Amino acid sequence: MFVHIGGEMTLPESSIISVINLESVIPSQRSVTDFLKSEDDRGRLQYVTDDIPKTVIVTNSKTYVCSLSSQVLFGRL
């Protein structure tokens, strides 16, 4: 099965490792911020939309930032 994560992007459901709800992350949680910076430095971070980011989707090969809520994404899994 494939999951639509916004824009024109779909991912194989089996490749999704984690879905992180950015709306519940507070700025003092350095682990998430550090992870996203690390992924960006490695060229693995991809923004799916220009809208306000709500969710981070971690896969085997990339990390995607999208504007769909984690609840919407979980409904599609």
Summarised one tens digit per residue, pLDDT across range 18-64 is 999 998 988 778 899 899 999 999 999 999 989 999 999 999 999 99
> What pTM was estimated for this model as a whole?
0.90
Q: Residue 70 belongs to what domain range? A: 2-76
Look-up: residue for tokens 């194989």?
A: 12
Cα separation of 21 and 60, whole Å?
18
Give bridge partners of residue 53 from the DSSP assignment: none
Query: Backbone phi, then psi, for 41, in 5-degree steps?
Result: -60, -35
Q: How many domains does the chain have?
A: 1
Burial class (CB in 10 A: 0-12, 13-18, 19+), 59: middle
Q: What does the pLDDT read at residue 35?
A: 93
Q: What does the pLDDT read at residue 27?
A: 75
